[in-house]
Amino acid sequence: MDTLLTSDDPVSAPFRDPTRLEIVPLSLGLPDSTFICDGATAKFRVVPNVADTSLQYVWSSGETIPSVSTDVPGEYTVLVSSACKTAEATIKVSAKDEPLSVKLTGDATIIQGETAEVRAESNFSTDELAYAWKLSLDLPLDCENCDKINISPLEDVEVEVLIEDPFGCKASDVLNILVDKTRDLLINNVFSPNADGINDYFFVKSAGIAMVKELHVVNSWGKTVYSERDIPVNSPPLGWDGRISGDAQPEGVYYWQAIIEYPDGS
């Protein structure tokens, strides 16, 4: 960097009224190298460190503008000049050895109410990738720019991810998740609450996910012997153990009523 000693007062001598001016060399802000993405073009641009509209650009490929696009690997040199400045820079353009790719893996089928994990697996370092997720349903994402997401769809959903590496190369993939809306319920008509660990509770079973909003049991005289609300299905200890206030009830016929709610509100 050069230094010029001058004066801001034309009458006084420079050494009596000095102003130090720095002569800044022209730099072009052109990276040393870049890559061409598979089936795409590489784009690079000169970004001078000075705002000078008189700058002229001459590329080795013939262009006379600040930016250049190419799909041909090689070295590209630019000469930038004005009335008093000149600078030159070269960028090496290479084809990537392996195209960027991504594959979505995870749960292809879930039971309604379950959470599906979907992961984007790529041949590039995940720490250097940008992720954009798109769903066919309006669902919240637990992470917008991550290599995996967790979603809880109530209907079949299509999941798409678009990844981009630091060179601007992109790849995408799609995964369809099917939601099993099984409504099978099983409630035993006989149980034996004798604490032998076998069939000791009266409760609601289901192959799917559901909530027992209400479960009531009455004896043959219409007396309520058990009443509970908001119990998950397949929860034996939360069902009726055949007792009232700790007292075992006699064998006999009992009547029950249940209200079941599924994750979609039905």
Residues 109-133 have a mean pLDDT of: 90
Token couple for 90: 């070269």
pLDDT digits (tens, 9 = 90+) for 190-214: 999 998 999 999 999 987 788 899 9
Please state the separation of Cα 70 from the chain's center in Å.
31
25-56: b or e for each residue (b if 16 or more CB lie within 10 Å)? ebebebeeebbbbeeeebebebebeeeeeebe
One-letter identity of residue 238: L
Residues 76-105 have a mean pLDDT of: 88
The CA distance from 220 to 98, in Å, is 75
- 204 touches 258 (CB < 8 A): yes
- Phi, psi dihedral angles at 199 (to 5 degrees): 55, 45
Mean pLDDT score of the chain: 87
The confidence band for 3, taking pLDDT boundaries of 50, 70 and 90, is: very low
Interacting residues of 59 by C-beta distance below 8 A, sequence separation 6+:
68, 76, 77, 78
pLDDT at position 105: 94
Token couple for 24: 């800044």
The CA distance from 150 to 172, in Å, is 18
CA 237, 240, 244, 247 dihedral sign is negative
Read off the pTM. Answer: 0.63
The CA distance from 185 to 234, in Å, is 10
CATH of 102-180, one of 2.60.40.1080, 3.40.50.2000, 3.40.50.1220, 3.40.30.10: 2.60.40.1080
pLDDT digits (tens, 9 = 90+) for 200-256: 999 999 877 888 999 999 999 999 999 999 999 999 999 999 999 889 999 999 999
pLDDT digits (tens, 9 = 90+) for 149-180: 999 999 999 999 999 988 788 899 999 999 99
pLDDT at position 11: 58
The confidence band for 1, taking pLDDT boundaries of 50, 70 and 90, is: very low
**Domain boundaries 2-95, corresponding CATH code:** 2.60.40.10
The CA distance from 133 to 252, in Å, is 58
pLDDT digits (tens, 9 = 90+) for 18-67: 666 666 788 888 888 888 887 778 888 888 888 888 889 999 999 999 99
The CA distance from 169 to 40, in Å, is 8
Would the pLDDT of 263 be above 90? no
Q: DSSP assignment of 99-145, as one string?
A: ---EEEEE-SEEETT--EEEEEEESS-GGG-EEEEEESS----S-SS
Between 17 and 48, name the one with better pLDDT.
Answer: 48
The confidence band for 97, taking pLDDT boundaries of 50, 70 and 90, is: confident
